Amino acid sequence: MRPATRPVFTLSPGAPWNRSPSNRACSPASPLGQARSPSPRGPLPRPNPIPPRQPGTPWQCGSSGTPPPIRWRSQPPTAPSTLSRIRRQSTRSNSVTPFIKMHGAGNDFIMFLQNDLGRFPLPATTIARLCHRRMGIGADGLIVVGKDPGGADFRMHYANSDGGEAEMCGNGARCAFALARAAGLVGDSGKFASSAGLHAGRMIDAGEVEVELTGWRDLDLEFDLPDVPWSGLGFCNTGVPHVVVQLPDTGALADLDLATWGPVLRRHARFGAAGCNANWAAVDPADGSVHLRTFERGVEDETLACGTGASATAVIMCLRGTRKSPVTVRTRSGEILVVSVESGTGRLHLRGPAVVSFTGEVDLDD
Give the whole-angstrom CA distance, residue 135 versus residue 161: 13
Q: Which among 108, 107, 99, 212 is positioned nearest to 152, based on CA atoms?
A: 212
Which phi and psi (to 5°) does residue 235 adopt? -135, 140
With vertex at residue 120, the alpha carbon angle to CA 114 and CA 359, rounded to the nearest 5 degrees, is 45
> Is 236 among the residues known to form the active site?
no
> Is 131 among the residues known to form the active site?
no
236, 276, 306, 318: the active-site residue: 306
**C-alpha dist (Å) from residue 94 to 57, 136, 223:** 12, 19, 52
With contact defined as beta carbons under 8 Å apart, do 40 and 146 qualify?
no
Crossing angle of helices 307-320 and 170-182, rounded to 10°: 130
Give the whole-angstrom CA distance, residue 100 versus residue 130: 12
Give the whole-angstrom CA distance, residue 207 versus residue 63: 16
169, 175, 236, 318: the active-site residue: 169
As a dihedral over the C-alpha atoms of residue 104, residue 109, residue 110, residue 115, rounded to 10 degrees, the angle is -70
SS3 at position 13? strand
Catalytically annotated residues? 169, 306
